[in-house]
Amino acid sequence: MPDTKDLQQALLGWFDAHARTLPWRAGAEGARDPYRVWVSEVLLQQTQVARGLVYFERFLAAFPTVQALADAPEADVLKAWEGCGYYARARNLHRAAKRVAAQGFPASYDAWRALPGVGPYTAAAVSSLTLNEPRAVMDGNVRRVMARLHAERTPTDAWAQARADELLDHARPGAWNEAVMDLGATVCIPKAPRCGACPVSAHCAAFASGQPAQYPAPKVRAEARAVQAVAVLIGDAQRAYLEVRSGRLLGGLMGLPMQEADGGDVPGALAALLARLGARDPRPLGVVTHGMTHRHLTVHVYAAHAPHALTDTGAAALARLDQKLLALAEPTQGTLFT
């Protein structure tokens, strides 16, 4: 068991000297702008900080206040979120912003948890950083730091949260949470931890073992399901017939008409999609492969003709998948994209 007080002093001292300069960290400790902190925490889920910085600046330029976000049409919110992935986050953020604009920002962890899409991690981060509430965050970086401090190969979520709660500095909870996350992101990294630069290596059981990279053991992830599908382009890359996507991941976005090929029956799926669209003269454009959370898509793309109204694709909110599909219509592109 690490010496809690010494560890806290060592890590916070390191953080005060080496904290990353990030736009959402402006403001007094424990009293930051809740809107900026909230948006950043939602954006950074499943997104690396380097990319998150670009998305954050773009999103804040479009919606500088929670009222601006609440007043915006959902299509505009999804367009500003374009490229970030996991679009359910954007839809929930928009829904929650409407409530905050009407009722004010939450004043506690529990009140943050009551908002749509706000889970334990986001609520802990925002309440500690803006309200100085002593709540320990838990993400992949924190889990790895806790596992190495205790030399735990297979930390459960409950175990990792309990260790984070034990080590939390109640006097500076926001700074402590950011210190642990910065440590995990810049020093206690997964494959080649920089133990020589670590301020708490003297307290680390994994470091003492001589094999810190062995902790924690890699998570066993379910293999992605292979899916064959067909998409039809009516129009061209700049103006095309688009439909509203459904489902948790891409719901609310626009995209090319698409049909899953049951049992890999691509001709059958194409025929069914053409019939639904009233389209004719299909011409193959190529094949796109695209990885998603639990699926690996292989999409066969065809151009066809049908009397449908076309949409400016540059103005529509499109997932990365549909950007790749549309790229096949560009004359300089090849026929296989990954």
pLDDT at 5 (0 to 100): 94
Whether 136 has a pLDDT exceeding 80, the answer reads yes
Distance CA 171, CA 133 (A): 9
pLDDT at 248 (0 to 100): 67
User: Long-range CB contacts (< 8 A, 24+ apart) of 314-319?
Assistant: 314/238, 315/79, 316/79, 316/242, 316/254, 317/75, 317/78, 317/79, 317/81, 317/82, 317/252, 317/253, 317/254, 318/82, 318/253, 318/254, 318/255, 319/82, 319/85, 319/87, 319/245, 319/250, 319/253, 319/255
- Of 26 and 1, the structure prediction assigns the larger pLDDT to 26
Q: What is the pLDDT of residues 97-108, one digit of tens each?
A: 999 999 999 999
Tell which residue, 125, 80, 81, 117, has the closest CA to residue 100: 117
Whether 2 has a pLDDT exceeding 80, the answer reads no
Phi, psi of 284 (to 5 degrees): -65, 135
Q: Are 59 and 80 in contact (CB under 8 A)?
A: yes
Q: What is the mean pLDDT of residues 207-221?
A: 92
Q: What is the pLDDT of residues 60-71, one digit of tens each?
A: 999 999 999 999
57: annotated active-site residue: no
DSSP letters for 124-183: HHHHHHHH-------SHHHHHHHHHHTT-SS--HHHHHHHHHHH--SSSHHHHHHHHHHH
Apex CA 34: angle with CA 28 and CA 37, to 5°?
A: 85
The sign of the dihedral angle between the CA atoms of 265, 267, 268, 272 is: positive
Q: Are 37 and 52 in contact (CB under 8 A)?
A: no
- The structural domains of the chain, ordered by start, are 4-214 (1.10.340.30), 225-337 (3.90.79.10)
**Strand order across the beta sheet in which 258-260 lies:** 258-260, 225-234, 295-305, 280-291, 336-337
Q: What is the mean pLDDT of residues 161-181?
A: 97
Q: What is the residue-averaged pLDDT of the chain?
A: 92
Annotated catalytic residue within 29, 41, 82, 166: 41
pLDDT at 30 (0 to 100): 79
* Longest Cα–Cα distance in the chain: 73
Question: Which of 51-55, 159-163, 290-294 is predicted with the least confidence, judged by mean pLDDT?
Answer: 290-294
Q: What is the pLDDT of residues 303-331, one digit of tens each?
A: 999 999 999 999 888 888 899 999 998 75
Peptide bond into 199 cis (omega under 30): no
Q: What is the mean pLDDT of residues 194-209?
A: 97
Report the DSSP beta bridge partners of residue 305.
Answer: 280
pLDDT at 338 (0 to 100): 36
pLDDT at 332 (0 to 100): 42
Q: What is the pLDDT of residues 3-28, one digit of tens each?
A: 799 999 999 999 999 999 999 998 88
DSSP letters for 56-114: HHHHHHH--SHHHHHHS-HHHHHHHTTTS--THHHHHHHHHHHHHHHH---SSHHHHHT
**pTM of the predicted model as reported, rounded to 2 decimal places:** 0.81
By residue count, the chain amounts to 338
